[in-house]
Amino acid sequence: MGIAGRVCFLVLAILLVSVSAKEEKQEKNPYVFEDRHFTTGLKTQHGSLRILKNFAERSELLLGIGNYRVAVLEAQPQTFVVPNHLDADALVYVAQGMGTVSLMSEDNRESFNIREGDFFWISAGTPTYLINRQKNQNLVIAKLLQPVAVPGRFEAYFGAGGENPESFYNAFSDEILDAALNAKSDKWRRLFRKQRQGAILKASEEQIRAMSREEGGIWPFGGQTKRSVINIHDQRPSQFNQYGQLYEVDSSQHWQLQDHDVSISLANITQGAMTTPYYNSKATKISIVVDGEGYFEMACPHLSQQQQQRGPSYQKVSSPLKRGTVVVVPAGHPYVAVASNNQNLQLLCFEINSKNNKRYPLAGRRNIINQLEREAKELAFGVSAREVDEVFGSQNDEGFVKGPRQQQQGRADA
């Protein structure tokens, strides 16, 4: 083999090793997404849009939510996000801060104030802009996106802009713009070249004040007069005890959630406590840590190494949770989340395919084992029903329970 041949061989070998190492890593735990699984969609001196990698590209086990994307927008104090539209429907949750959002329909504009805990829907194609009204706090917004043009992919389209953000007007030929705008070409040329500061800009205090007004209170789309913004903290918790609270808004409470078969919830798990293990019957959950630390465990038949003829076997999937970690919990998978001993753990969850979803508790007062009849308990476990009852009848709390005394930080497959 000549030098060139040897170099080629070496390069190929390195490539193969790195590809297989990468695949092995992916296989091990495709359900957890950290900082490195985000790409930068937008970045300026004053903020950024980070986009979570495509689920379907990460693992075929995530194909079921392949047409959903997650993105996080962060805008610094007193900034303006230039008007744009997306080729995706978006469920938007305000994770931190205060701002004002403006949505345009064909003949109307609605501007409304947003604060932490608010969520609202932006239909695909709606021209949208927003400001961070605060003087000393970043505005952080988490979005669940459902692309409408290319499955699993979405793009932002800026009209107002110049070189950066690039205005799509610049893609048209001069003759077309001359004719369409009916304005002097030196005028429109200047207009579409000036802006170079990027899509997230610093605004003056007066500009912020002027844009902080709410306008056009009625939801302009489809003549609906229902409130377009709901605050998740205004809900009554659906599960509540000293170990935590769960706030949920399901599709029956919000027509856009219903249309898209999505629900949204916020779990506040008290430090040192955990959720009862449970599974969702139909919904796949995308869970984002908004505050605190802890870990989760999940039972997954897909990742089990054991090849068994006699029936399924389950792999423990586990990982530490910290602010910004995203975890996907597919339907049917038993799962538990544990808060650290020093801090509450707050999880924002988007549940996809949530219509008629049921949450089946695997421990606690109303667990599924308790409902078995005596004979079924004895046959299934091969012990007396009394023994089964002793085990599954001892936990009197439900929803949230006291956590493990000794916390292992969910290292297993991280």
Report the interhelical angle of 374-381 vs 385-392 (nearest 10°).
90
CB 109, CB 86: distance < 8 Å: no
CB of 296 to Cu ion, least distance (A): 14
Scan for tokens 């449970």, then name that residue: 278
Q: Find the shortest distance in angstroms from Cβ 222 to ligand NAG.
A: 32
Q: Of 62 and 269, which has the nearer Cβ to ligand NAG?
A: 269
Q: In terms of DSSP H, where are the helices of 217-357? A: 255-260
300 binds Cu ion (CB under 5 A): yes
Distance between CA atoms of 248 and 232, rounded to whole angstroms? 7
Binding at 270: pick from ligand NAG, Cu ion, none (beta carbon under 5-8 Å per type) = ligand NAG
Please tell me whether the peptide bond between 361 and the residue prior to it is cis, using omega within 30 degrees of 0: no
Size of the site for Cu ion (CB under 5 A): 2
Per rule CB under 6 A, is residue 48 in the interface with ligand NAG?
A: no
Of the pair 102, 344, the CB lying nearest ligand NAG is at 344
Binding part of the chain for Cu ion, among 73-81, 302-310, 334-342, 349-357 by CB under 5 A, reads 302-310
* Nearer CB in complex with ligand NAG: 212/407: 407
Nearest approach in angstroms of CB 360 to Cu ion is 16
Q: Looking only at residues 205 through 244 of this chain, which bind ligand NAG when binding is defined by CB under 6 A?
A: none
Return the number of the residue (99 or 292) whose C-beta is nearest ligand NAG: 292
Q: How many CB atoms lie within 10 A of CB 45?
A: 12
Is there a contact between 205 and 132 (Cβ–Cβ < 8 Å)?
A: no
Select from Cu ion, ligand NAG, none the partner in contact with residue 300, using the beta carbon and a kind-dependent cut-off of 5 to 8 Å.
Answer: Cu ion
Of the candidates 76, 251, 270, 354, which one interacts with ligand NAG according to CB under 6 A?
270
Q: Of 72, 67, 15, 79, nearest to 40 (Cα)?
A: 72
Contact 140, 74 (CB under 8 A): yes
Under rule CB under 5 A, which residues in 168-227 are in contact with Cu ion?
Answer: none
- In the window 241-260, what residues touch ligand NAG (CB under 6 A)? 245
CA distance 171 to 58: 33
Kindly report the backbone phi and psi dihedral angles of residue 359, in degrees, each rounded to the nearest multiple of 5, phi listed first. -105, 115
If the CB atoms of residues 111 and 276 are measured against ligand NAG, the closer one turns out to be: 276
Determine, following the binding rule CB under 5 A, whether residue 302 of this chain makes contact with Cu ion: yes
Complex with ligand NAG: residue 78 or 344, whichever CB lies closer? 344
Residue 344 partner contact from ligand NAG, Cu ion, none using kind-dependent CB cut-offs of 5 to 8 Å: ligand NAG
DSSP 153: B
Look up residue 121 and give its two tokens: 């829907």
> Which residue number, 123 or 344, has a Cβ lying nearer to ligand NAG?
344
Q: Please count the other Cβ atoms lying within 10 Å of the Cβ belonging to residue 164.
A: 14
HSE-CB at 307 with a 13 A cutoff on CA atoms is 0
- The whole-angstrom separation of Cα 49 and Cα 51 is 7
Size of the site for ligand NAG (CB under 6 A): 4
In the DSSP assignment, the letter for residue 215 is B
Is the dihedral angle over the CA atoms 88, 92, 98, 101 positive or is it negative? positive
Judged by beta carbon, residue 62 or residue 273, the one nearer ligand NAG is 273
Listed in sequence order, the residues at least 6 apart from 303 whose beta carbon sits closer than 8 Å to its beta carbon are 27, 28, 29, 61, 315, 317
67 binds, among ligand NAG, Cu ion, none (CB under 5 to 8 A by kind): none
Pick 302 or 355: Cβ nearer Cu ion: 302
User: Which listed option, Cu ion, ligand NAG, none, makes contact with residue 268 (CB within 5 to 8 Å by class)?
Assistant: ligand NAG
> x/- string (CB under 6 A) for ligand NAG, residues 335-374?
---------x------------------------------
Amino acid, res. 202:
K
Residue number of the CB atom closest to ligand NAG = 268
Which residue among 256, 268, 276, 340 contacts ligand NAG (CB under 6 A)? 268
Binding site for ligand NAG (CB under 6 A): 245, 268, 270, 344
Binding site for Cu ion (CB under 5 A): 300, 302
